[in-house]
């Protein structure tokens, strides 16, 4: 009689506070045949805290294409495996997709053990409308790519959410300030579940000042949430006359020059005219 096929458990681990591991997760981490971990040293610390000893094998973004088929073989031989990442829910901006895809193809049962996730923790405490939201993971690394990303988000009707690290948080906030309307609500959730947990609800205009004033705000791990566009705030930011002027100018010169001239002529806000010019140039 062939061995019964093993199972793959996708186990969420804490995002800071070690007590945020579920009873069921402890049970699974104890009882599986091995744990595939993004960083085996990191997870060992968690296992020690719970008095769990189990076999660990690395599965991270640099080896997962090669290592995943080997883990599939083990499950086909009857072993059960738990997949964990460094923090939170695996696959949420974390490795694991090749393993899950192969497991599905091999008809191995994939079972989630839910728990901490920085995205979900942040939106649950944000105070923003989140019955619909958009999660975009990590932002592009260069400032110009980030600005293009924010421009594309100007009309997003839902709350949108990104992850950010301490290395780039200040640069990202600066880019946001340049592109998004100053009055737009932004929520910064920092160091969730940890000692210095901070959740700040502010506006785009005030966010930069906050980060420059308090250097501690630049430390740690971040979830950034931005409110979607209010329906009334949409395309009517400029008057029909301003729109007509911009349309004519855009036929003759670059966005930058058209905006500079329109600011000079109308006295309207540069950011407002810039956003309108972008929309107009896209539709031309």
Residues near ligand SAM (CB under 6 A):
15-16, 85, 87-89, 92-94, 117-119, 163-165, 189-194, 221-223
Residue 120 C-beta: closest distance to ligand SAM, Å? 8
Residue 65: CB atoms within 10 Å: 10
Residue with smaller CB distance to ligand SAM, 50 or 196:
196
Residue with smaller CB distance to ligand SAM, 15 or 59:
15
Residue 35 C-beta: closest distance to ligand SAM, Å? 16
CB 10 within 8 A of CB 113: yes
Radius of gyration of the chain from Cα atoms?
Answer: 24
Helix (H, G, I), strand (E, B), or coil: what is residue 270?
Answer: helix
Residue 12 C-beta: closest distance to ligand SAM, Å? 7
**Residue whose pair of structure tokens reads 């293009």 in the numeric block:** 148
Residue with smaller CB distance to ligand SAM, 67 or 189:
189
Q: In whole angstroms, what is the distance from residue 205 CA to residue 219 CA?
A: 21
Say which residues have a Cβ less than 8 Å from residue 278's Cβ, sequence separation at least 6.
151, 154, 255
Minimal CA–CA distance to 17: which of 178, 268, 191? 191
CB 38 within 8 A of CB 10: no
Residue 42 C-beta: closest distance to ligand SAM, Å? 12
Cα–Cα distances in angstroms (integers) from residue 57 to residues 12, 68, 213, 245, in the given order: 17, 11, 44, 63
Residue with smaller CB distance to ligand SAM, 173 or 189:
189
Residue with smaller CB distance to ligand SAM, 63 or 234:
63
Residue 17 C-beta: closest distance to ligand SAM, Å? 8
Residue with smaller CB distance to ligand SAM, 12 or 238:
12
Residue 30 C-beta: closest distance to ligand SAM, Å? 22
**C-alpha angle 127-229-275 in degrees, rounded to nearest 5:** 135
Residue with smaller CB distance to ligand SAM, 15 or 79:
15
Minimal CA–CA distance to 45: which of 93, 89, 87? 87
Strand partners, 110: 8
**Residue whose pair of structure tokens reads 């000079």 in the numeric block:** 264
DSSP states along 142-160 = SHHHHHHHHHHTTT--SEE
Residue 180 C-beta: closest distance to ligand SAM, Å? 19
**By beta-carbon distance, which residue lies closest to ligand SAM?**
88
């Amino acid at each position: 009689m062939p061995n019964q096929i093993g199972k793959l458990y996708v186990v969420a681990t804490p995002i800071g506070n070690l007590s945020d591991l579920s009873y069921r997760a402890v049970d699974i981490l104890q009882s599986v045949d091995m744990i595939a971990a993004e960083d085996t040293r990191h997870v060992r610390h968690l296992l020690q805290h719970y008095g769990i000893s189990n076999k660990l094998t690395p599965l991270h973004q640099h080896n997962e294409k090669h290592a995943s088929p080997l883990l599939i073989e083990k499950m086909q031989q009857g072993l059960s495996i738990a997949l964990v990442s460094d923090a939170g829910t695996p696959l949420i901006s974390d490795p694991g997709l090749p393993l899950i895809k192969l497991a599905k193809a091999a008809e191995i049962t994939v079972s989630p053990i839910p728990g901490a996730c920085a995205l979900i923790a942040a939106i649950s405490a944000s105070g923003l409308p989140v019955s619909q939201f958009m999660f975009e993971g990590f932002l592009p690394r260069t400032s110009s790519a980030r600005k293009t990303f924010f421009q594309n988000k100007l009309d997003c009707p839902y709350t949108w959410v990104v992850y950010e690290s301490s290395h780039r948080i200040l640069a990202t906030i600066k880019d946001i300030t340049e592109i998004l309307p100053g009055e737009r609500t932004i929520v910064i959730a920092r160091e969730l579940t940890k000692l210095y947990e901070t959740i700040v609800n502010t506006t785009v205009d005030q966010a930069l000042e906050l980060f420059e004033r308090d250097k501690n705000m630049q430390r740690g791990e971040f979830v950034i949430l931005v409110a979607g566009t209010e329906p009334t705030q949409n395309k009517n930011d400029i008057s029909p006359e301003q729109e007509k002027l911009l349309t004519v100018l855009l036929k003759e010169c670059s966005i930058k020059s058209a905006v500079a001239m329109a600011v000079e002529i109308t006295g309207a806000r540069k950011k407002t005219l810039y956003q309108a010019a972008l929309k107009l140039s896209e539709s031309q």
